[in-house]
Amino acid sequence: MAGRERLSGLPVTRRGLMAGAAAGGGLLLAWSLWPRRYPGALEPNSTEYAFGAWLTVGEDGVVTVAVPQLEMGQGVTTLLPQIVAMEMGAAWGQIAVAPVPPNGAQANIPLAAKWAPLWSALPALADDPESILTERFARSEPFAATADGTTLAAFENDCRAAGAAARAMLAMAAAERWAVAWEECEVANGIVTHGERRARFGELAADAARMTPPDPPPLRPQAPMEEVLPGDVPANSAYPRLDLPAKVDGSYPFAGDIRLSGMVHASIRHGAWGLRELVGFEEDAARDLGLVALVRSRYWLAAVADSWWKADRALDVLRPRFAGPGGIESEAVEAALDEGIARGEAQRILSLGDPEAMATPTLTRRYDIAPALHGGLETASTTALYRDGRLQLWIASQAPSAARRAAAKALGLSERDVTLYPMAAGGSFDARLETTHAIEAALIARDLGRPVQLTWPRGEEFKAVPPRTPVSIALSARLDPNADRQPIAWRAKLAMPATAREFGARLFEDRTIEAAIEGAAGEADPLACEGAVPPYAIPNVVVDHVPVTIGLPTARMRGNAAVYTGFATECFIDELAEIAQRDPLLYRLSLLGQDARAAVVLRAAARLGEWDGGVEGTAQGLALIRMAFGQGDRLAHGLIACVAQARLGEGGVRVDRLSAVADIGRIPNLDLARQQIEGGLVFGLSLATGSSATYRDGMPEPRRMAGLMLPMLADTPDVRVDFIASEETPFDPGELSVAVAPPAIANALHAATRLRFRRLPLLSEGL
C-alpha cells in the first residue's frame, strides 16, 4: 500500500489508518489490511543461496550480509556483519556486505517508537517497540532511518537470530550427509565439523538453504562482546573494519562516485531563507555557456553540463535572483529568543517531585546556543535516471524510504515505480535525513530523460540544509541552605522552535519548509528538550519549553538536543559547585545518590585526566553526560565523563587534552566504539569553537568550509579514551561524546581565566 488510496470513499494514509483504527476500535480491520510477512531486499545470484532476509551463502563460501543502515563513517557495515559472523561461525575473511534499500523485513522499530510523536496521532499507543501499531507502521512504511544511535537496538537481535539460524541449517545439511545429529556438529571459521569430518560453507550452501531452521534459533550463550582494554594498550581487533582497505586505496564508492553511460552533471542555486522564490536570471547569457539544459523550479535553478565544474560556473554567470517576504536576520532570531526566554508562555514538558519547590530559586543563569551548520566532507549528491515512467535513484540517505517517497511524490509516481540504490555518505551528521536533494535530482532527471548527477556546492549545502536550532536556556536551582549547598529543586526553561516536530513534518508528511514551520508553531516539543533532566539525584525537577517561531528552519545534528541541554546543565553545575566552594568532581559525586555506574565513570575520568581539583589556574574542566534509549528490559544507558585541559591562546580557544571514560554497556566491537568516542569528542570540540552561522538577509555566513573554524590536525588535542567493562544492555557511542566535550572545555576555560562562558560557540560573545 503506497502513497494515498481510498477506502469506502474516505482518504486513507498509512499513518492515518493506524491511528484511526486504534481510536475507533477498528484495530482488527486495520490489521487485516496489512501483509503479515515482509520480504527482505537481499537477492542471491545464480551461485548464491538465501538464508532469510539477512544473508546469503555462495558456492565459493562467501557470506553476504545485508546492511539496511547508511554507512557514513560510523562503521555499521562492519558492526552488523560482525554480529552475524560471530553467531554463524563464519570466518571474518569470508564476509561481504550488501547495502540494501528499505524493506519491511529490516525496519528500525525502536527508532519508530521513539519518534512516535512525529508520525502518530496517538503517540502514547506507539512509543513502545513492542506495540503492534509501531511495528506495522515501521514495516509497512518501510522505516529504516539511520539516526539516534539505534543500530544495535534495532538490529542486533535480528542479526544474531539470522546468524544462529544459518549456523543450524548448515549443521543440519552436514549432519544429513554424515548421518549424525546436527546438534553434535561444530561450526567455526566457516567450516562445519564432526570428529574428523569437515565441510566448508560453500559445499553445504545449496542443501542447507532447503533446511527448516529450529524455532527459536539456537543463539550462542554469550552475546557479541569484546574485552575492554585500556586505551594505551595496543590491540588488533578480530573484526577490523571491512570498509578500510577500499577507503585507503580510494575505491570505496560514495554517492558522488556513480558514473553511468551518457551521464551529465548538474549544479544548483537556492534562495536564501525568507527569500526562496526564484524570480529570474540572466537568460540571455545561457546561450553561450555550452550547457546541456537549464532546469528551473519555484525555489531553485539548476544548470546541467558535461562536467560539474562547467555547470557550477555557469550559474555564477546566470546570477539567479530570488525574492520573498524578507531574509532572515540573526538579530531578529536572537530577539525572538530573548523575548521567549524572558516573557514567553512556557509549556511543561516534565515534572518530578514537587513543582512548587522552585518558588524561590537561589540562582538562575542563562545559556545561549547559536545555530550550527553541518560540515560533512561530501555535500549532497544524487544520481537519477527517469525513463518510461520509472525513476532510479543512487543516493546516500539516512531516511531512504522518505527520500523515495518524496521523489515519487514530486514526479507523480507510485513509490513502486522508484528504485533506490543506497550509497555510502562521506559524513552526514544528520544532514542526510533531509530529502530535498532527492526531489531536485528526480525533477532534473525527468526533464532530461538521461542520467544526471546533482551535486550541491558547499555554499548551497550550508544554505539549503536547515541548521541545528538556536536555543536560549534558563536554568534555575534552589539550594539547600545547609553547608553542602546542594540543589533541592531544578528548573530548565528552553526557548526555541519546536524543532523536532518541524523536522518530523518534513520527514513523515512531506511538508514544505514553510508548512513545517507553520504546523509546528506554538507546539511543545519533548524530543527537542531531551537531556534537560540533569543526571543527578535532585528531588524536584521541572522542564519547560517556550515554543518560539524564528522564521529560520531547523534540523537535527549529531548529538542533537543533548549538546545544548548538556552544555547548559554541566556549566551550571560548575557554577553551583563554585557557590558551594566545592571541588567540581566531589560536588558532582555528592549529587549522584545511589548511581554507582555514574560514580565509577566520574572517578575513572578524573584518574585518566589527572584531575587536580579544577581550581583557579589549573585549566581543567569536568563534565558528565547521561543518555538513555529504549524501555523496560531493553532500556540502555550511556554514561561519559570528560576532563578537558584548555586555555586561551593565539587565535582563540586551545584545547590541549580531552580525557574521557565511557560506560556503554556490553561492547561488541571495541575498535568501533573507540573510534566513535574519539570522533565524537573532536566533533564536540568543533561545536565548542566553531561550526556556527550568522544570517544576513537570509544567507548564512560562512559560505565555505574554512569559515566554520573546524579544528585542524594541529588543533586536535591529545585524546585519551577508556571504557568501563560492563555486561549491561549496549548503548551506541556515536552521540554520547559529542555532548560532553563543549561543557568540559567551557569549564576548563573558567578554571584558566575565571571567566564564565555561557554561549556556544565559546568566545562568540567576546571576553
Residue 32 has pLDDT above 80, yes or no: no
> Is 673 part of a structural domain of the chain?
yes
Per-residue pLDDT, 34: 44
Mean pLDDT, rounded, of the chain = 93
Per-residue pLDDT, 36: 53
Q: What percent of the chain is modeled with pLDDT above 90?
A: 89
Q: How far apart are CA 5 and CA 173, in angstroms?
A: 46
Residues 446, 497 within the same domain: no
Task: Decide: helix, strand or coil at residue 639.
Answer: strand
Residue 463 has pLDDT above 70, yes or no: yes
> Is 485 part of a structural domain of the chain?
yes
- Region 21-48 average pLDDT: 62
- Region 593-621 average pLDDT: 94
Q: How far apart are CA 361 and CA 515, in angstroms?
A: 39
Residues 277, 303 within the same domain: yes
Residues 368, 447 within the same domain: no
> Is 332 part of a structural domain of the chain?
no
Residues 535, 593 within the same domain: yes
> Is 6 part of a structural domain of the chain?
no
Residues 638, 668 within the same domain: yes
Per-residue pLDDT, 232: 81
Residues 426, 357 within the same domain: no
Instruction: Decide: 201 and 57 in contact? Cβ < 8 Å.
Output: yes
Q: How far apart are CA 763 and CA 44, in angstroms?
A: 56
Residue 481 has pLDDT above 90, yes or no: no
148-167: pLDDT as tens digits: 999 999 999 999 999 999 99
Instruction: Decide: 69 and 155 in contact? Cβ < 8 Å.
Output: yes
Q: At 231, is the pLDDT very low, low, confident or very high (cuts 50, 70, 90)?
A: confident
Residue 30 has pLDDT above 60, yes or no: no
Tell me how long the chain is: 767
Give the residue from 462, 478, 506 where a domain finishes.
462
Residues 387, 273 within the same domain: yes
563-604: pLDDT as tens digits: 999 999 999 999 999 999 999 999 999 999 999 999 999 999
> Is 4 part of a structural domain of the chain?
no
Give the residue from 462, 477, 501 where a domain finishes.
462
Residues 418, 508 within the same domain: no
Q: At 237, is the pLDDT very low, low, confident or very high (cuts 50, 70, 90)?
A: confident
> Is 724 part of a structural domain of the chain?
yes
Per-residue pLDDT, 502: 98
Q: Which domain holds residue 59?
A: 48-107+142-208
- Region 702-731 average pLDDT: 95
Residue 8 has pLDDT above 70, yes or no: no
CA angle 152-154-159, nearest 5°? 70
**Helix residue ranges per DSSP H, 53-106:** 76-88
- Region 135-139 average pLDDT: 96
Instruction: Decide: 479 and 576 in contact? Cβ < 8 Å.
Output: yes
- In terms of C-beta density within 10 A (0-12 exposed, 13-18 middle, 19 or more buried), how is residue 386 classed? buried
Instruction: Decide: 619 and 645 in contact? Cβ < 8 Å.
Output: yes
> In 3D, which of 611, 597, 630 has the Cα closest to residue 725?
597
- In terms of C-beta density within 10 A (0-12 exposed, 13-18 middle, 19 or more buried), how is residue 429 classed? buried
> Is 175 part of a structural domain of the chain?
yes
Q: At 633, is the pLDDT very low, low, confident or very high (cuts 50, 70, 90)?
A: confident
Q: At 550, is the pLDDT very low, low, confident or very high (cuts 50, 70, 90)?
A: very high
Q: At 540, is the pLDDT very low, low, confident or very high (cuts 50, 70, 90)?
A: very high
Count each helix (H run) and each strand (E run) in the chain, helices first.
21, 30
Residues 353, 289 within the same domain: no
Number of domains present in the structure of the chain? 3
Residues 350, 416 within the same domain: no
> Is 128 part of a structural domain of the chain?
no
DSSP 127: S
Residues 529, 424 within the same domain: no
Q: At 354, is the pLDDT very low, low, confident or very high (cuts 50, 70, 90)?
A: very high
What CATH number does the domain containing 56 carry?
3.30.365.10
Instruction: Decide: 685 and 741 in contact? Cβ < 8 Å.
Output: yes
Q: How far apart are CA 561 and CA 554, in angstroms?
A: 12
**Would strands 293-296 and 191-194 be described as parallel, antiparallel, or unpaired?**
unpaired
Identify whether 142 is preceded by a cis peptide bond (ω within 30 of 0): yes
Give the residue from 174, 191, 208 where a domain finishes.
208
The region, left, alpha or beta by phi > 0 then psi within -120 to 50, assigned to residue 411 is: alpha
Residue with the three cell numbers 517531585: 353
Q: What number of other Cβ atoms are within 10 A of residue 39's Cβ?
A: 11
- Region 602-618 average pLDDT: 93
274-304: pLDDT as tens digits: 999 999 999 999 989 999 999 999 999 999 9
Residues 354, 410 within the same domain: no
Residue 439 has pLDDT above 50, yes or no: yes
